[in-house]
A and B are shown apart, each in its own frame.
Chain A
Amino acid sequence: MKAIGNWSKEILLVLMALVFLSPIYIIFINSFKNRLELYENTLAFPEEFGLQYYSAAMERMDFFNAFLNSMYVTVVSVVFIVILSSMTAWMLARSGNWVSTVIFMTLIATMLIPFQTIMMPLMQLVTGITRTTGIPLYNTLSGLIFMNIGFHAALSVFLYHGFIKSIPISLEEAATIDGATKFGVFWRVVFPILTPITATVMILNVILIWNDFLLPSLTLIDKELRTIPLSVFYFFGEFTIEWNLAMAGLTLTIIPVVIFYVIAQKYIIKGIGEGAVK
């Protein structure tokens, strides 16, 4: 009797999760329907699984280009964030002086600033710099990467800082006595120990940067620079919505996320938990 009760609970649980995810399923099945089929019955199964709407949506969204832009911005930003914020956090955590404390507190305090509060002055600054010095910060992917590093510095340093405080200093001291430079000590001894928190920092930043819309929408003007959220936005904005095409487009944008989730699921859930709790 008890076993049967448990099984029904198991089934109920998964059913609930399936209902929860049903909007994604609905988007998926409707991406194969023609317009008539779609308006007849939204919940019905498609008559055939043709990919013609996908190729049309891909073309309209310039999907591959947007995907490559998103990939490039996310990967390069995250690599720089990991390198720079781990180095900074280590110095701040290990040199117990008031300068470090002030810097660290400033970083934490800025985490309260919403993006909307600095978006306009930032854009003034960035366009001003580009205009007067010619440094291509505005309307370039490198400029966006540069800004991403600045925006995600605080959270990343904060996470690294907390982790570094919890590991013993003795290993580092031993390496220093052996005559290694600070640079050597950090990259050969400390950074490998930081791997778990590096995973967390990477996961959190990948999610934030991949899905970011507002900052790219302000800094990227040229069509060929669009990231995935931007191309989806313009896809929905430029035409009166052809829902079957839009559905294929949305499915396309979800696929990379699902693949990422399936591959790195364990780390994502762990990373999100740690990122939130600290």
Chain B
Amino acid sequence: MACSAFSEKAPNQQCMKVGMSVANRKKIGWYLIFTVPLLLIFTLIVLVPFVIGIYYAFFQWDGIGANPMVFNGLDNFVRLMEDERFLRSTWLTVLFTVLSVITVNAAGLAFALLVTSKLKLANLARTMLFMPYLIGGLILGYIWQFVFLDVFTLIGEVTGFESIFFNWLNNEDFALFALVFVFTWQMAGYVMIVYIAGIQGIPGEVIEAARIDGASGWQRFLRITVPLLMPAFTISLFLTLSYGFKIYDVNLSLTGGGPANATELFAMNIYNEIFGYGNYGYGQAKAIVFFVIIAAITLTQVYITKKKEVEM
């Protein structure tokens, strides 16, 4: 088996006749030297835990080594269908992700259009708009905690728009919007970079031709720029969907899941179930469902958008 697999274009018959030639054995040796170190680490850190994780999901266990792990079949999965806190968290995550995908992409595309215009300071603006992405989510959350706490209330007092400018983080309905807001602030610059690449890939002649044919700016944007940006949309939607669904750091530092669990999103719910409540088996079942949902969403989304891409 290994002989035929590693001999590339060498005919199989010859391979079988001679057995494993010295050259071939050397080839396999090099192959192993180059790949095994990384693949070993990768297997130990990613693959093995993934498999063990599926196993754990069918047990009831509190994570304490001395206590027994009790096999309970699909009970964990049945239980999470009826778990109010979990269902609420799922709904909040979906809501958060949908809102964020819209706001991040709208802002990112708007930024990209602005900084690809022929303005001299466009590069400076691009540099500045990208900045938040580099500061980790945890730190961004703390920065915005202060902004909501002090600056928003101050703006509210000064301008009189206290129904908009107040501390969103203390309000059960608005805390989720605060999360969307900060996530957008973090990700817009990142998505902007993707759109910039897309916009720069559109040939100027196409836009020019449309202009000569009398298409208005808005028409040119909708009929030419948007269709030709489909690949960039695919990537950006993919990125924001999966980042949004998996959000944790900003969630932790900005709201901590509060007030009254109003912003406990999926990833945080899993973390709390496992390490907070000590339900290792049940929490792991949630974690497996989390994986299935993320895989399903991202694969479907890539499939659909790929189909819509326009060939140049």
Closest CB in chain A relative to B66 CB, distance in Å:
13
Closest CB in chain A relative to B229 CB, distance in Å:
13
Contact B136 A113 (CB under 8 A): no
Q: Roughly how many angstroms separate A277 CA and B114 CA in the complex, as a whole number?
A: 20
**Which chain A positions have C-beta within 8 A of B266?**
116
Q: Roughly how many angstroms separate A208 CA and B245 CA in the complex, as a whole number?
A: 17
Closest CB in chain B relative to A84 CB, distance in Å:
4
Contact A229 B138 (CB under 8 A): yes
Interface centre among B8, B42, B131 (most CB of A within 10 A): B42
Interface 9-residue window, one of B78-86, B204-212, B281-289:
B281-289
A85 partner, pick from B38, B46, B133, B136, beta carbons under 8 A: B38
Instruction: Map CB proximity to B onto A13-45 as digits: 1 under 8 Å, 0 otherwise.
Output: 110111011011011001000000011011100
**Which chain B positions have C-beta within 8 A of A17?**
124-125, 128-129
Contact A113 B41 (CB under 8 A): no
**Which chain B positions have C-beta within 8 A of A232?**
138-139, 142
Is A118 interfacial (CB-CB < 8 Å)? yes
Interface 9-residue window, one of B95-103, B170-178, B191-199, B303-311:
B191-199
Is B76 interfacial (CB-CB < 8 Å)? no
B139 partner, pick from A99, A243, A250, beta carbons under 8 A: A250
Closest CB in chain B relative to A207 CB, distance in Å:
6
Which A residue sits closest to B144, measured CB to CB? A23
A21-B128, A26-B151 given; A87·B38 CB < 8 A:
yes
A13-B114, A24-B143, A214-B249 given; A103·B295 CB < 8 A:
no
Instruction: Map CB proximity to A onto B119-155 as digits: 1 under 8 Å, 0 otherwise.
Output: 1111011111111111111110011101100110010
Chain B, 240-255, CB within 8 A of any chain A CB? 245-246, 248-249, 252-253
Contact A91 B34 (CB under 8 A): yes
Chain B, 201-258, CB within 8 A of any chain A CB? 235, 239, 245-246, 248-249, 252-253
A117 partner, pick from B53, B134, B144, beta carbons under 8 A: B53
Closest CB in chain B relative to A86 CB, distance in Å:
10
Q: Roughly how many angstroms separate A23 CA and B254 CA in the complex, as a whole number?
A: 14
**Which chain A positions have C-beta within 8 A of B190?**
272, 276
Is A139 interfacial (CB-CB < 8 Å)? no
A150 partner, pick from B30, B42, B146, beta carbons under 8 A: B42
Is A55 interfacial (CB-CB < 8 Å)? no
Contact A233 B154 (CB under 8 A): no
Which A residue sits closest to B200, measured CB to CB? A273
Closest CB in chain B relative to A197 CB, distance in Å:
16
Is A149 interfacial (CB-CB < 8 Å)? yes
**Which chain A positions have C-beta within 8 A of B150?**
38-39, 42, 243
Contact A118 B49 (CB under 8 A): yes
Closest CB in chain A relative to B16 CB, distance in Å:
16
Instruction: Map CB proximity to A onto B36-69 as digits: 1 under 8 Å, 0 otherwise.
Output: 0111011011111110110010000001000000
Is A236 interfacial (CB-CB < 8 Å)? yes
Is A72 interfacial (CB-CB < 8 Å)? no
Contact B34 A87 (CB under 8 A): yes
Interface residues on A, range: 35 or more
Contact B126 A95 (CB under 8 A): no
Is B271 interfacial (CB-CB < 8 Å)? yes
Is A157 interfacial (CB-CB < 8 Å)? yes
A150-B45, A153-B38 given; A95·B31 CB < 8 A:
yes
Contact A97 B119 (CB under 8 A): no
Contact B49 A99 (CB under 8 A): no
Is B280 interfacial (CB-CB < 8 Å)? yes
Q: Roughly how many angstroms separate A217 CA and B119 CA in the complex, as a whole number?
A: 44
Contact A182 B30 (CB under 8 A): yes
Contact B42 A154 (CB under 8 A): yes
Contact A99 B6 (CB under 8 A): yes
Is B35 interfacial (CB-CB < 8 Å)? yes
Contact B45 A273 (CB under 8 A): no
**Which chain B positions have C-beta within 8 A of A112?**
291, 294-295, 298-299
A113-B291, A269-B130 given; A150·B136 CB < 8 A:
no
Instruction: Map CB proximity to B onto A62-106 as digits: 1 under 8 Å, 0 otherwise.
Output: 000000000000000000000011011011100111110001001
Residue ranges of B at the interface with A (Cβ–Cβ < 8 Å): 5-6, 8, 27, 30-31, 33-35, 37-39, 41-42, 44-50, 52-53, 56, 63, 114-115, 117, 119-122, 124-139, 142-144, 146-147, 150-151, 154, 185, 190, 193-194, 196-197, 235, 239, 245-246, 248-249, 252-253, 266-267, 270-271, 274-275, 280, 283-284, 287-288, 290-291, 294-295, 298-299
Between A and B, 16 residue pairs with Cβ closer than 8 Å are A10-B119, A13-B119, A18-B128, A23-B144, A27-B146, A38-B150, A87-B34, A96-B8, A118-B49, A118-B50, A118-B53, A150-B46, A207-B134, A211-B135, A260-B134, A273-B194
A20-B129, A117-B50, A149-B38 given; 10 more Cβ-contact pairs under 8 Å: A23-B151, A24-B135, A84-B38, A88-B39, A114-B246, A147-B45, A183-B30, A211-B138, A213-B137, A214-B249
A-B pairs, top 3 by smallest CB distance, nearest first, are A150-B45, A211-B136, A84-B38
Residue ranges of A at the interface with B (Cβ–Cβ < 8 Å): 6, 9-10, 13-14, 16-18, 20-21, 23-24, 26-27, 30, 38-39, 41-43, 84-85, 87-88, 90-92, 95-99, 103, 106-107, 110, 112-122, 124-125, 146-147, 149-151, 153-154, 157, 181-183, 186, 207, 210-214, 229, 232-233, 236, 243, 246-247, 250, 253-254, 257-258, 260-261, 265, 268-269, 272-273, 276-277
